[in-house]
Structure 1
């Protein structure tokens, strides 16, 4: 027997199964799972009404009664759909621009005799070539099995979105990274190369990937619970020095392994180190997000001169000249954050501060020239190395 939630979802989707949808909008929602047709219908209906409102604002500043009632009813439909989808664990968001427009329209719309358009009305910029309804969950069919699972979006970057799902056969969580639809051919090649590189790397502190789908430009990978930034900030008050040192060493071991294989990450940051949580504050860190990686002494990516990345060495002029000492600079910032819980590079004291200062020295010749000596020094630290107790995040 179907649950109430299943019946609600079935009725909602059946309602929009046969509505006429302009292909100009349906093409924007191929990845939104079961609700794709509904989102396309909402998008097209909103744009029609917004275009009419723009036209009336230029003439008699009166939004007709029929259109006023239609827009009020449509806003209620969108809210009802959101309520139902949230109840079944799916949910969606409306982009900030259209959310602001709808909130503004609520201040003057009337169901009787039409609506006067306010004097402060500004022309609505219609969104026609990108989605305005973003689902936090969709579906994939598991390979080699006649079974689909729900995806929940957990992260987004410039080139891809990351989802999580639970494999029902194993009861284990996995992650899926999917390239965005508007990527150029060159970026899709780079995305595939990122997977192929990760597939070759096998190390406890580097994210493991599993399978690539050329049809959807996506790949499955090991699931992690949060970023290093989230882990440190959530646990900072109860992290012992020994736990911080263990996390720092795992981070450094991962980079040492990467460098030993002839690669530079080029975007070492708090968000590109992920954490698998265990009981209490126990954790294992995983290097991730290898989109800017470069093979030493070769051009692994298309980026030659444009500087990219989160923590950039101020002494570097172009990505083409990026080398190990530039990576050491960003390593210093991450180590400082691990030991202090603060993003202030001057937050640490004592022996830890000396190590960090050597990582970020303006004179590149004065920096560590590889990760190995940093590992030796971190391994040799005593619990008094911080000089004072670490503080809560600023």
Structure 2
């Protein structure tokens, strides 16, 4: 039956791979459903599910720029993300108490080739474009695509950019296109003529989400958001990149029925090794940045110790709902934040792993 659901996949080897993954993942998800009441997912099955999810991510990454690039069903994609949040490779995995029973899909495909012709997409007229803000180098618009019946974002370069800024804008797209993580906003197509690109639409900025839900969010929910943000930046840093523009508007929250996914956006100021795009007098952005030290040393001297400073301020906001450090009442949290924003750079957290270790008191 599954063979019929992927008949549009003409590559026989890829078709067999999709079938195999779909079968094995469903088998492991079915067993996970059986273990919900027990609350413990056994060790062998935990390792197997981790391995299959890793294989899906690796396959998607390897085929990303080929004619065999594919998309994962949104529901299963959200399941992979949720499971990655609690699965461990040894001793089995504790199933979160709020984890819902999985609705298994045996009929429809969970992998679909991206068959949209890029020329047709490029020339297609879009309507209902609405301005929703602006980033470092672009004006940002929202529109609904009639073919997909869903919203997308259009990032259009500002008309007053100089050549260096235009290069940064194009580099933002290029770097985001290279990254392959559920924690990074997906970008789809760069129009060289209009100097704009399309990307996925996300429901909330972290600032808006916390503001609207501050009185309803439990500590566990706040912690889940925090851990996902740290996982996102651990991935970014593993690519030898520094974001440099951490703010309440550049961390996004995508809401599904059964989970929330953190997405990092606006890589216009990303620091790449050996790049010369940041000059001594480059404007400092990022509302959570250590402005005083960066003004002293120059934005081109931005390091991991500045990135962890901004991350600690962000974590404080998520846990308290306020950007004011002085108003923190929890003694352990205040000690954590004070270390993270210490004026002496060598006293700060050196990386995301140190931040995670220091948060074990929660």
Pairwise same-fold verdict (TM > 0.5)? yes
SS at 1:264's partner residue? coil
The 1:172/1:235 distance shift into structure 2, 3 A limit, reads same
Cα offset, 1:353, TM superposition: 2.3
Distance 1:243 1:358 in 2: 24
Q: Which of the numbers 284, 292, 308 marks the counterpart of 2:269?
A: 292
SS at match of 2:310: helix
2:154 aligns to what?
Answer: 176
Residue 308, structure 1, aligned to residue 289, structure 2 = no
Q: Is the 8 A contact 2:243 2:269 kept in 1?
A: yes
3-state SS of paired residue (2:170): helix
Distance 1:267 1:190, change over 3 A: same
Structure 1 gaps of 5+ residues are 1-140, 383-394
Match of 2:324 in 1: 344
Q: Distance between the aligned counterparts of 1:355 and 1:258, measured in 2?
A: 23
For 1:253, the equivalent position in structure 2 comes to 231
Root-mean-square deviation (CA), in Å?
2.1
Counterparts of 1:223 and 1:174 in 2: how far apart (Å)? Answer: 5
Which residue of 2 is the match for residue 329 of structure 1?
Answer: 309
For the 8 Å contact 1:307–1:318, the answer to whether it is kept is: no
User: Which residue of 2 is the match for residue 235 of structure 1?
Assistant: 213
Cross-structure match for 2:346: 365
The two structures have a TM-score, normalised by structure 1, of 0.57
Consecutive aligned runs of 4 or more in structure 1 exceeding 6 Å deviation: none
Post-superposition CA distance 1:329-351 (Å, at most 9, x none): 11111111100001102333133
Residue aligned with 2:215, SS: helix
CA distance in 1, matches of 2:189, 2:280: 29
Q: What is the TM-score with the length of structure 2 in the denominator?
A: 0.62
1:77-96 to structure 2, matched below 5 A, reads: none
The Cα shift of 1:355 comes to 2.0
Deviations 1:97-137 (A, max 9, x none): xxxxxxxxxxxxxxxxxxxxxxxxxxxxxxxxxxxxxxxxx
Instruction: Answer whether contact 1:340 1:347 (CA < 8 A) is retained.
Output: no
Between the aligned partners of 2:124 and 2:217, the Cα distance in structure 1 is: 45
- Listed one character per residue, the Cα deviations across residues 169-223 of structure 1 (whole Å, up to 9, x for unaligned) are 2222211100112212221111101100000011111111111001111000111
Deviations 1:341-373 (A, max 9, x none): 011023331332222122111111111111112
CA gap 1:146/1:229 in 2 versus in 1, 3 angstroms: closer
- Cα distance in 1 for residues equivalent to 2:136 and 2:123: 32
In structure 1, how many angstroms separate the alpha carbons of the residues matched to 2:337 and 2:172?
A: 30
In structure 2, how many angstroms separate the alpha carbons of the residues matched to 1:146 and 1:278?
A: 29
Counterparts in 2 of 1:220 and 1:371: CA distance versus 1, 3 Å? same
Q: Distance in 2 between matches of 1:158 and 1:256?
A: 23
Give secondary structure in 2 for the equivalent of 1:204: coil
Paired with 1:343 and 1:203, the residues of 2 have a C-alpha distance of 28
Is this contact kept in 1: 2:135–2:266, CA < 8 A? no
Tell whether the 8 Å contact from 1:142 to 1:148 is kept in structure 2 after alignment.
no
SS of equivalent residue, structure 1 residue 150: coil
Q: Alignment length, in residue pairs?
A: 239
Contact 1:142 1:149 in 2 (8 A): no
Indicate how the Cα distance of structure 1 residues 189 and 226 shifts in structure 2: closer, same or farther if over 3 A, else same.
Answer: same
Kept in 1: contact 2:136–2:266 (CA 8 A) = no
Other-structure match for 1:99 = none
Shift of 1:277: 2.3
Q: Which has the larger radius of gyration?
A: 1
Q: Is contact 1:209–1:221 with CA below 8 Å preserved after alignment? A: yes
